């Protein structure tokens, strides 16, 4: 199967899964997909934001990106924890992400709540200064504060400490911030997706960036995406592939080893 045919197959599969899931609701209409002015030459990596919700359900996330009137969208969604790749907007069309800075780049979202906070023995999505509607375990809507539900996966299982990595927060390095772990399956799927895209539209690895690299105040996708290793793997560095492959079969039992890979990659990316 050619890469273009693979992209089309992923888009058809995404539409089928969304239609099956929401058959008893008003089915979403795909957003107007704007033609690109020029071929894509890079990608922007995100973790999705939903105003305090938890983004671990790839089909639900695609439904939100495909709803009529929704002001954000993306080209690809990489599911947690398996790395299943879905395609809300075909890559030959422009998705709405990262504002004007996203033009010319493919949008890729890796399912994750992003920053999370531990309260008692449970984990909740963490708010930021710009997302004042989420503070700890509380979310603000309809003029009132309400307790939000703890983070859980699509199967309802709660997120545990094995799913988190601790890292000094961006504005206050002496404070610890927790991020939900991207899995090795997702990283492998990301590398394979970028290679397929590069085969059709050659990409400069330097044009593969994090949302936080483009927009001040953004923190996604955080320290759990080893950007330097992903860039090197795009050109077929087998040593990097071996590093990205570690712990896949044993995950999450080998979580500590995977954390070491992430921390070293994040330190390298910041140099």
Give the per-residue pLDDT at 130.
47
Do residues 151 and 158 touch, judged by C-beta distance below 8 A? Answer: yes
Looking at residue 129, its pLDDT comes to 45
Q: Please name the CATH architecture into which domain 3-113+182-266 falls.
A: 3-Layer(aba) Sandwich (3.40)
pLDDT given at position 66: 80
For residue 45, which of 271, 184, 240, 219 has the smallest C-alpha distance?
A: 219
Which of 131, 128, 79, 151 has the alpha carbon at shortest distance from 108?
A: 79
| Token representation of residue 151 | 């983070």
Task: Supply the pLDDT for residue 86.
Answer: 95
> pLDDT value at position 214?
80
Domain boundaries, the chain: 3-113+182-266, 115-179
Are β-strands 176-180 and 76-78 bridged in parallel, bridged antiparallel, or unpaired? Answer: unpaired
**Mean pLDDT in order along the chain per 10 residues (271 residues):** 86 89 63 68 84 75 75 88 91 78 83 83 68 62 71 80 73 66 88 92 89 77 86 83 67 63 73 57
SS (H, E, C) 138-169: EEEECCEEEECCCCECCCCCECCHHHEEEEEC
């Amino acid at each position: 199967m050619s890469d273009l045919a693979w992209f089309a197959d992923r888009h058809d599969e995404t539409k089928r899964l969304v239609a099956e899931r929401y058959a008893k609701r008003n089915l979403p209409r795909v957003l107007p997909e704007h033609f690109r002015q020029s071929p894509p030459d890079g990608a922007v990596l995100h973790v999705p934001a939903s105003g305090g919700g938890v983004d671990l359900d790839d089909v639900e996330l695609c439904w939100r990106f495909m709803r009529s009137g929704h002001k954000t969208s993306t080209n690809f969604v990489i599911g947690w924890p398996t790395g299943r790749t879905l395609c809300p907007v075909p890559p030959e069309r422009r998705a709405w992400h990262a504002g004007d800075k996203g033009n010319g780049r493919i949008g890729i979202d890796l399912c994750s709540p992003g920053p999370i906070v531990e309260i008692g023995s449970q984990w909740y999505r963490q708010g930021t200064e710009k997302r004042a509607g989420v503070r700890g375990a509380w979310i603000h809507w309809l003029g009132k504060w309400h307790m939000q539900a703890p983070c859980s996966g699509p199967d309802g299982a709660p997120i545990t400490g094995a799913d988190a990595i601790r890292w000094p927060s961006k504005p206050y390095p002496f404070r610890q911030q927790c991020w939900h772990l991207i899995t090795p399956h997702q990283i492998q799927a990301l590398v394979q997706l970028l290679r397929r895209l590069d085969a059709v539209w050659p990409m400069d690895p330097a044009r593969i960036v994090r949302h936080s690299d483009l927009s001040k105040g953004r923190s996604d996708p955080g320290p759990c995406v080893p950007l330097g290793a992903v860039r090197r793997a795009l050109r077929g560095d087998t040593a990097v592939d071996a590093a990205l492959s570690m712990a896949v079969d044993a995950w999450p039992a080998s979580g500590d080893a995977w954390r070491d890979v992430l921390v070293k990659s994040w330190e390298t990316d910041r140099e």
